[in-house]
Amino acid sequence: MTAPILELKGIDVYYGPIQALKDVSLHIDPGETVSLIGANGAGKSTLLMSIFGQPRVAKGQILYQGTDISQKSSYYIASNGIAQSPEGRRVFPDMSVEENLMMGTIPIGDKHADEDMQRMFALFPRLKERRNQRAMTMSGGEQQMLAIARALMSRPRLLLLDEPSLGLAPIVVKQIFATLRELAQEGMTIFLVEQNANHALKLSDRAYVMVNGQIRMSGTGQELLANDEVRDAYLGGH
Ligand SMILES: Nc1ncnc2c1ncn2[C@@H]1O[C@H](COP(=O)(O)OP(=O)(O)OP(=O)(O)O)[C@@H](O)[C@H]1O
Ligand SMILES: [Mg+2]
């Protein structure tokens, strides 16, 4: 049996007096694509951000390759192989595509930067065409590609993605998911938060369903796609 790359054990997270995560446990094995689905406000982004220590967990453990990282700095976490593309495709608006990608190398240094940038341009040809363009002038889909590519520039072992398809046209969503599938096939471990449950479950080996800060259900992507409760709540009915 392989040990999980990431294991959350009984975590609680609060915003002031409000409890946003309640006794959440889950695990991700190396090489898996796992998604977390759930309604607006369920706590999905909170869970993803808590892996990076913001917000901090009040109780429980976050084990990454066996080490509890729940009290480590974001820099420690990033330089040890976790990268995230946060909700809302946060790119540095005044910087060019290339400069944004260079920012992604900060946790590991720039010695692989040229090689990795070429790889990002192969993965996302649109970024190559726009390498000198300022990020703020790029389309939503291009900015999302940039946010994912920037995360990959730190050569992560675990990639965390928060709503990569949000607000994008169906064709761009397809492109993004095709790229994620390519990364998964190359062996990347991916933890994906998505409202687009249909795409996410089709891509994922396994998934968790979050309701009001708690894990309600888990299973393989196929099991959850076929589950009546999931279909009614997240897949637009039968
Ligand atoms: N910084 C914050 N301060 C206070 N409450 C917060 C903060 N961030 C999130 N919350 C609350 O925590 C709960 C979970 O929010 P979260 O953003 O994790 O949900 P989500 O599942 O990602 O939702 P969405 O699908 O809309 O992105 C919500 O009730 C939200 O209002
Ligand atoms: Mg969210």
The tens digit of pLDDT for each residue in 109-124 reads 999 999 999 999 999 9
Tokens of 160: 């965390």
Over pLDDT 70: what percentage of the chain? 99
**pLDDT-based confidence at residue 197 (cuts at 50, 70, 90):** very high
Distance 187 CA to ligand 1 centre (A): 31
Q: Which atom of ligand 1 is nearest to the CA of 213?
A: 14
The angle, 0 to 180 degrees and rounded to 10, between the axes of the packed helices 170-185 and 113-123 is: 130
The Cβ of residue 203 has, within 10 Å, a number of other Cβ atoms equal to 20
The Cα 217–Cα 77 span in angstroms is 28
Residue nearest to atom 14 of ligand 1 (CA): 43
Give yes or no for residue 100 CB within 6 A of ligand 1. Answer: no
Beta strands in the chain, from DSSP E residues, in sequence order: 6-15, 18-28, 33-38, 59-64, 67-68, 82-85, 158-162, 189-194, 206-211, 214-220
Lay out the sheet containing 18-28: strands in order across: 18-28, 6-15, 59-64, 67-68
Give yes or no for residue 197 CB within 6 A of ligand 1. Answer: no
Would you state the CATH architecture of domain 1-81+158-164+195-238?
Answer: 3-Layer(aba) Sandwich (3.40)
Residue nearest to atom 31 of ligand 1 (CA): 41
Average pLDDT over residues 21-42: 97
Distance 213 CA to ligand 1 centre (A): 10
For the chain, the structural domain boundaries read 1-81+158-164+195-238
The tens digit of pLDDT for each residue in 119-168 reads 999 999 999 999 999 999 999 889 999 999 999 999 999 999 999 998 88
Residue nearest to atom 6 of ligand 1 (CA): 15
Q: Which atom of ligand 1 is nearest to the CA of 42?
A: 21
